[in-house]
């Protein structure tokens, strides 16, 4: 029986706690997130060059478990802080305040979640390059690695 990558089960709603880390494990965190709320990709230069794929949550939904002492901070402005591990260089999360997306936020790099299957989750593409935060497109995520493993 052939599996089609275009037919994905719907992402079930409900708040879940995900664990995540940088590549070397020095930075570890937890985040409470409802996958039915979707994720974002931004076209600003920082997000594009680091292949950032984010989930945005309110500050109370994010907990840094370890690695505060090895966190670097790259900021284009006071509105946004990209936090990265100074050991391995991975940009695991960020935080800031952008009124257009609801004020205070934490953004987690979805690629840093440990063992999360987010096939089918909505990805909304935003125009951060021009600071408009307008929606450019939206599509469900298809994991090319899992799809290939099933063929």
The string of pLDDT tens digits covering residues 51-98 is: 889 999 999 999 999 999 999 998 877 778 889 999 999 999 999 998
- The tens digit of pLDDT for each residue in 8-27 reads 455 678 899 999 999 999 99
Query: Span 16-112+122-150: which CATH code?
Result: 2.170.150.70
User: Would you say residue 124 has pLDDT above 60?
Assistant: yes
Report the distance separating Cα 53 and Cα 75, nearest Å: 17
Contact partners, residue 99, CB within 8 Å, separation at least 6: none
Domain ranges of the chain: 16-112+122-150
Query: For residue 28, what are its two tokens?
Result: 């570890």
What is the side-by-side order of every strand in the sheet holding 91-98? 71-77, 80-85, 91-98, 103-109, 54-57, 39-42, 122-126, 135-140
Give the other-Cβ count within 10 Å of 35's Cβ: 21
């Amino acid at each position: 029986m052939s599996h089609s990558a275009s037919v994905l089960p719907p992402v079930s709603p409900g708040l879940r706690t995900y664990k995540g880390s940088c590549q070397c494990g020095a930075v570890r965190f937890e985040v409470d997130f409802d996958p039915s709320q979707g994720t974002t990709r931004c076209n600003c230069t920082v997000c594009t060059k680091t292949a950032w794929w984010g989930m945005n949550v309110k500050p109370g939904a994010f907990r840094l478990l370890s690695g505060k002492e090895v966190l670097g901070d790259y900021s284009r402005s006071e509105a946004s802080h990209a936090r990265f591990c100074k050991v391995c260089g991975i940009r695991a999360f960020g935080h800031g305040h952008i009124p257009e997306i609801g004020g205070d936020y934490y953004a987690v790099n979805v690629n840093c979640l440990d063992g999360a299957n987010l096939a089918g989750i909505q990805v909304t593409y935003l125009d951060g390059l021009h600071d408009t935060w307008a929606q450019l497109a939206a599509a469900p995520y298809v994991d090319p690695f899992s799809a290939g493993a099933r063929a």
